[in-house]
């Protein structure tokens, strides 16, 4: 870990220039390799991301979220085809919601999106939710940056909308699509407020099923009450993604929101917000990394936790001790 930090801190030493050139040149293999580095060794990836930063800033990132099985992959596939037919290069990142019980989602997505894998303008990648050292939203932001540097016009991030993690993932995107399906009409009230608030475009997929009108009415009612700080009124689109129905309308809605972003003074705000959250993620993982790499951190954590468990120390003082001691090296000996 310490070695990685040194590598990351020292400017462009020991960087694989061929890898960098490959990414900037848009080579899929290089892009895949760097994303693997971002996933497995975020600290080491920093040096590359730093070099790539000047090549970024053009990619439009779209987050797609919704309940398991809502049709996200099917819609993403259809959207990717539309962007492709307009000549754009598309990168798709499926943030895999695999529970400990099933390893099926990655494979399933690969199979469902197979129509795109042979297309040289579409890059598809799955990321596992577990095992991310630097936090998943940071990993997602880093991956978007890699795609951006590689010249992708659009990046689409698919994630199952269940928790705070997912809300943060889609916050790394410029536009967020929330998928709903008929038959969950009652649930719309109880849906996580966070998910409702992040939707710039709402898609009612599986509109071939009964109940599409009802969920649309409920959604409209809910959205009419919301007042977003940017005054954008989220658009609602009905789709049957598996048949391609409503996909052009969904594209139009995305275009409308993008146009709004580009014309509105809130655009700078959104970009600022994205960068603020990204910076916070970076600082968080850096501070945590520093703490955890301090000598005997594990032992001290355990000792202090035991003291708290035995009620000999309150957790706040324990946290003070843990952070102070780890930050101030060498530890004070006079006490």
Q: Which positions lie near ligand GTP, rule CB under 6 A?
A: 66, 68-74, 105, 112, 160, 205-206, 208, 240-242
Q: Which does 199 bind (CB under 5 to 8 A by kind): Mg ion, ligand GTP, none?
A: none
Least distance between Mg ion and beta carbon 198 (Å): 18
In eight-state DSSP terms, residue 119 is: -
Q: What's the CA gap between 330 and 335, in Å, rounded?
A: 13
Residue nearest to Mg ion (CB): 73
Subset of 33-72 contacting Mg ion (CB under 5 A): 72
In terms of C-beta distances under 8 Å and separation of at least 24 residues, what long-range contacts does 238-242 make, across chains too? 238/203, 238/204, 238/207, 238/212, 239/71, 239/75, 239/203, 239/204, 239/205, 239/207, 240/205, 240/206, 240/207, 240/208, 241/71, 241/74, 241/75, 241/77, 241/78, 241/205, 241/206, 242/71, 242/74
Least distance between ligand GTP and beta carbon 122 (Å): 16
Tokens of residue 126, six digits:
């799955």
Element (H, E) at 272: helix 266-293
Subset of 101-140 contacting Mg ion (CB under 5 A): 109
Least distance between ligand GTP and beta carbon 242 (Å): 4
Least distance between Mg ion and beta carbon 75 (Å): 9
Least distance between Mg ion and beta carbon 218 (Å): 24
Q: Binding to Mg ion by residue 205, rule CB under 5 A?
A: no
Q: Binding to Mg ion by residue 145, rule CB under 5 A?
A: no
Q: Which does 139 bind (CB under 5 to 8 A by kind): Mg ion, ligand GTP, none?
A: none
Q: What's the CA gap between 154 and 62, in Å, rounded?
A: 7
Q: Binding to Mg ion by residue 159, rule CB under 5 A?
A: no
Residues touching Mg ion, count (CB under 5 A): 3
Q: Between 66 and 91, whose beta carbon lies closer to ligand GTP?
A: 66
Q: Binding to Mg ion by residue 74, rule CB under 5 A?
A: no
Contact with Mg ion (CB under 5 A): which of 4, 65, 73, 145?
73
What is the pairing mode between strands 154-160 and 122-128? unpaired
Q: Which of 179, 154, 2 is nearest to 80 (CA)?
A: 154
Q: Which does 57 bind (CB under 5 to 8 A by kind): Mg ion, ligand GTP, none?
A: none
Q: Which of 107, 25, 173, 116 is nearest to 33 (CA)?
A: 25
- The residue written with tokens 């929101």 in the block is 257
Q: Between 117 and 323, whose beta carbon lies closer to ligand GTP?
A: 117
Least distance between ligand GTP and beta carbon 112 (Å): 5
Query: Which residues of this chain interact with Mg ion, rule CB under 5 A?
Result: 72-73, 109
């Amino acid at each position: 870990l310490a070695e990685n930090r040194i590598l990351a801190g020292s400017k462009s030493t020991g960087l694989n220039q061929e890898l960098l050139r490959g990414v900037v040149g848009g080579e899929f293999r290089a892009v895949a390799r760097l994303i693997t580095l971002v996933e497995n060794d975020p600290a080491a990836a920093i040096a590359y991301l730093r070099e790539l930063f000047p090549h970024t800033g053009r990619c439009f990132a779209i987050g797609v979220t919704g309940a398991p099985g809502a049709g996200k992959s099917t819609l993403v596939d259809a959207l990717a085809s539309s962007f492709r037919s307009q000549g754009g290069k598309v990168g798709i990142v499926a943030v895999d919601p695999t529970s400990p019980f099933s390893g099926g989602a990655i494979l399933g997505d690969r199979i469902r999106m197979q129509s795109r894998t042979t297309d040289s303008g579409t890059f598809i990648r799955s990321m596992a939710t577990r095992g991310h050292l630097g936090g998943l939203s940071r990993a997602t932001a880093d991956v978007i940056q890699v795609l951006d540097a590689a010249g992708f016009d659009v990046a689409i991030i698919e994630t199952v909308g269940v928790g705070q993690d997912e809300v943060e993932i889609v916050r790394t995107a410029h536009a967020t699509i929330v998928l709903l399906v008929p038959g969950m009409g009652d649930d719309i009230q109880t849906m996580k407020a966070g998910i409702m608030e992040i939707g710039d475009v709402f898609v009612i997929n599986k509109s071939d099923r009964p109940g599409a009108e009802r969920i649309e009415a409920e959604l409209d009612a809910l959205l009419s009450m919301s007042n977003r700080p940017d005054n954008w009124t989220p658009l609602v689109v009905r789709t049957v993604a598996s048949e391609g129905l409503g996909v052009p309308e969904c594209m139009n809605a995305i275009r409308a929101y993008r146009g709004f972003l580009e014309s509105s003074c809130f655009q700078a705000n959104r970009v600022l917000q994205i960068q603020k959250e990204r910076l916070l993620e970076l600082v968080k993982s850096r501070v945590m990394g520093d703490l955890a790499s301090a000598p005997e951190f594990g032992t001290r954590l355990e000792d202090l936790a035991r003291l708290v468990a035995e009620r000999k120390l309150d957790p706040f003082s324990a946290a003070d001790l843990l952070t102070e001691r780890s930050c101030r090296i060498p530890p004070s000996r006079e006490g």
